[in-house]
Amino acid sequence: MKIYNINVNAVIEKIFYNSGIFLMMLFSISCSSPISNNDSEKIQAVMQRQEEAWNRGDIEGFMEGYWKSDSLIFIGKSGVKYGWKNTLNNYKKSYPDRNKMGMLKFKNLKTELLEGNNAYVIGNWTLFRETDTIGGYYSLWWKKMNGNWLIVADHSS
């Protein structure tokens, strides 16, 4: 029999913290209004620059669309990760060369303003590679900071 040393309080705290973020996003979404064309175009332009950077093998350039903070949230198949640098390192580890990176294409399905300087985008991504084509969906929480739209939370599957 294996005995695991689990800090129950830490687990409960993480569950409530992550659930709280999710519930705040859901509440904000329920109060959302359509995003202005200007803001929608600015967000789309950031995503276009991300695609272009990715497709030339420039992961750092791709990451310019993300909030450069230890508080950046990335949720993927391996769970919740925090921080811009951690996200950059995870991308570099998962996509070590151009063959693994392939060619990226985003397709936004819905873009909405949450309140003032917050927006969310739901869409899908496709990665075309020589050996295969993979893809999934994303939900992105964007925040306008100093006049620039940046991703502050990314949930991609």
> Is residue 1 in a domain?
no
Look at 132 and 21; give whichever has higher pLDDT: 132
Q: Which two tokens stand for residue 72?
A: 């950046």
Q: Considering the entire predicted model, what is its pTM?
A: 0.78
Asked whether residue 101 carries a pLDDT value surpassing 60, the answer given is: yes
Tally of domains in the chain? 1
Domain assignment present for residue 31? The answer is yes
Supply the pLDDT for residue 37: 72
| CATH code of the domain covering residue 53 | 3.10.450.50
Tell me whether residue 2 is in a domain.
Answer: no
What pLDDT score does 13 carry?
55
**Looking at residue 12, what is its pLDDT?**
46
Place of tokens 């070590």: 96
Evaluate whether residue 3 is within a structural domain.
no
pLDDT at 2 over 50: no
In a domain, 146, yes or no: yes
Query: Structural domain of residue 24, as residue ranges?
Result: 8-156
Domain-embedded: residue 123:
yes
Query: Is 57 part of any domain?
Result: yes
pLDDT band at 8 (very low <50, low <70, confident <90, very high): very low
pLDDT greater than 50 at residue 11: no
Q: What are the tens digits of pLDDT across the range 105-129? A: 999 999 998 887 999 999 999 999 9
Per-residue pLDDT at 20 exceeds 80? no
pLDDT confidence of residue 52: 99
Which residue, among 123, 124, 141, has the nearest Cα to 29 in the 3D structure?
A: 141
pLDDT at position 30 is 44
Whether residue 28 lies inside any domain: the answer is: yes
Alpha helices, H only, the chain: 8-30, 37-55, 59-62, 84-94, 98-101
